[in-house]
Amino acid sequence: MANDLAVVERLRNTPILKGDVDVNPVTRPVVKLYREDHSLADLDDEELGIFKSQFVTLLAAPGSEERKIMLDRVNQLLMGLRAIKYDLNKPRFKGLNPEDSELGFGHIRPVFTKYNGTVKDNWNVTLTTSSTYQAWLGDSLTDGFTLGDSFGLVLCHLKSLVTPQPFMAECSFKVGRTGELIPVDVRGLRMGDTENGVAIVPLPTMFAKPKMTLRATARADVAGTDEAVLGGLVVGLGRALKATTTFPTT
């Protein structure tokens, strides 16, 4: 494995105390993110081993910006997984290709999101030139879509597959009871990944747990249809992760 994987390899099931507070992402019982406390389920040594060995298969090529972002956020991604596991009544984590009632993870696909209340089958978003934010993900411009009972999302970056110049300029998210997050300037997508030519920018880490609502809006400087890909992990029961065309509600 590449040297950059040390941050994954050193994950351990041993508390790390700062004063009386456990700050180890593997063992801490709770994490606060944007004014909301998230209870975290335990991972035993076998489950942690599965995460460590299979997480690296989800990473982009060595040297890529996407790989760097995901390795930089591995602690948050792991805690997001544990938060979703807790909300799903702590099923055993089996990694990639879990059985229907087991917990697994993978890349986020369009089928786990909605636009105007309809499940998406691609990442396209059509944007006009306007200072007003437009609907991107949700049931409407003002209302988010509700995630299914058996999966959640951990968001950490955004990619555009449009060349030579992506269209999205700014975006804003609202997750559950957290409230509207500060808008994110994503014009850096136009610069591209200097290693692999992929347009990518980091986002603030967000936990969208089962039954939560998620809404995203966006605007452009130049009108056009972008192909904006949510980066991070989908975490859920095997029956949800198998979804291809139907939004997994249960």
Mean pLDDT by 10 residues, the chain (250 residues): 84 94 97 93 98 94 89 98 98 97 98 97 93 94 96 97 93 89 92 75 96 97 96 98 97
Helical H segments across the chain, by residue range: 6-9, 45-55, 65-72, 74-87, 238-241
Distance CA 31, CA 78 (A): 11
Strand partners, 175: 214
Exposed/middle/buried for residue 178 (C-beta within 10 Å: 0-12, 13-18, 19+): middle
Helix (H) or strand (E) holding 236: strand 224-237
The backbone torsions φ and ψ at residue 193, rounded to the nearest 5 degrees and listed phi first, read -75, 120
158 close to 69: Cβ distance less than 8 angstroms: no
Distance CA 26, CA 133 (A): 38
Distance CA 161, CA 226 (A): 8
Torsion of CA 105, 107, 110, 111, to 10 degrees: -20
Q: Which two tokens stand for residue 144?
A: 């988010």
pLDDT at 193: 64
Distance CA 103, CA 43 (A): 12
Q: What structural domains and CATH numbers belong to the chain?
A: 3-103 (no CATH), 106-241 (2.60.120)
Distance CA 39, CA 69 (A): 24
Q: Which residues touch 219 (CB under 8 Å, ≥6 apart)?
A: 127, 130, 131, 132, 133, 134, 168, 169, 170, 171
Burial pattern 207-219, b for ≥16 Cβ within 10 A else e, equals: bbbbebbbbbbbb
